[in-house]
Structure 1
Amino acid sequence: MIDQGFVCRGCGQRHEGLPFSYGAEAPAYWHDGLASDERSVLEDETCIIQAQHYFVRARLVIPVLDAEDDFDWGVWVSLSRDNFRRTTDLWTTPGREQEPAYFGWLSTELPAYPVGTLNLKTEVHTEPVGTRPHVVVEPSDHPLSVEQHNGILVKRVQEIAELLLHPEG
C-alpha cells in the first residue's frame, strides 16, 4: 500500500493520510438568516432558497493520474425549477440514471483555485438510487475545468489539503 501521509507546508507537521474528498454543507448562497424563511429549506441533499432557487448536492470528480482513487469535491449545483422537480420526483426511482444530464450552475466556491468557481456551467448526471449525482464542468480554460478534464497528480491533492486544512489568516 502506498503511504499517503505528508509533511504539511502549512503547519510543518506530518499528517497521516491524505484526504481525497472535501465538501460544502450548503450552496454558497445560503445564509443563516434563511433558516427562518418558510420559503427556504436546507436539507442533506437538496436546498430551496426563497422558493425561487433550487439546488442539489453532487460530486465533482477529478481523476488523480498517479493514485488509485479519484479526488472528489462535494458541491452544490443550481437547477431550473423543472429539472429540480424532475430530480426530486425520481429520487427513489430505480433506473433514474437513464435520465439525460441537466444543465446546472456550480453553486460552491472552491478555495483551491485562483479564480472563482461560482456559476461555472455544468452538466448534472443522475446516478443510481442512493448515489449523489455527478457534475461535469463545461470545458473551458478555468483551472477547475482543466483539472477535471485532464486530471491531477497526488502533489496537487496535497496542495489542496494544505490550503484547506490550514487556511491563512
Structure 2
Amino acid sequence: MNFLLKLQIGLLGLSLSLLCVCAHAEIAPASSEKISEVELVTFTPPSGWRVADSKELPKHVNVMVVGKGEREFPPSINLATEHYTKSLNDYLKRIKEINQSLGIEWKNLGPIQTEAGEANLSQIEEKSQWGDLRMMHVVLIKDNTAYILTAASLKEEFPKFYKDFFASLKSLRFIKGQRNTMENKI
C-alpha cells in the first residue's frame, strides 16, 4: 500500500493542493513572547479517512487524506499551496495550458462557494496504470497564495464518493490561530 500511496502522490503532484492540522499542543506564552494571530487553512475530510504520512508528500502538498475504494487506487483529497501574485483567472489559464501541454483535458466547472469564499471548481480526467482517474480541484487565491484542494478517485468510483468529495471541497475555510513569537532583546 505504501508504494501505491507514493505513486498516487506522484500523480497528484500536478494538482497542487494545504491543510494546517490545527491539533497542536497549547503552550502558555512566557513574558518575553508576543502572541500574533495567523490565519490557517483547513477543510473537513470525509469521516473515517486517514491522513497520509506528511514525509511522503511533495513539498507543496501540506496534507492528504485517503479513503477506501473497491480497487487498488484509493480515493484521496489533498490540500496544497503555491505562492501566486496574479488573479484567479490568470491562474486558471496557466493550469489549463499546463494540462493541455500534457494532453489532459481540463474543464472549468465555474465558481463554487466555499466557507473561505468564492473559489473556482475544475475537473480533469487522466489515464493511469490503474485505469481512468477523475480529479476535481477547488482553487482559491488569497494574499498572494493559491490554495488548491483536490479530490481524486478512479473515474468509475467517482460517483460513489461525489457527495463526500463535494462536501469536503465546499468546507475549505480559514480559521484564526495564534503564533508565539519571541521579542528581540537588545
Quick one: higher RCO (CA 8 Å, sep 6+), 1 or 2? 2
Q: TM-score, normalised by structure 2?
A: 0.27
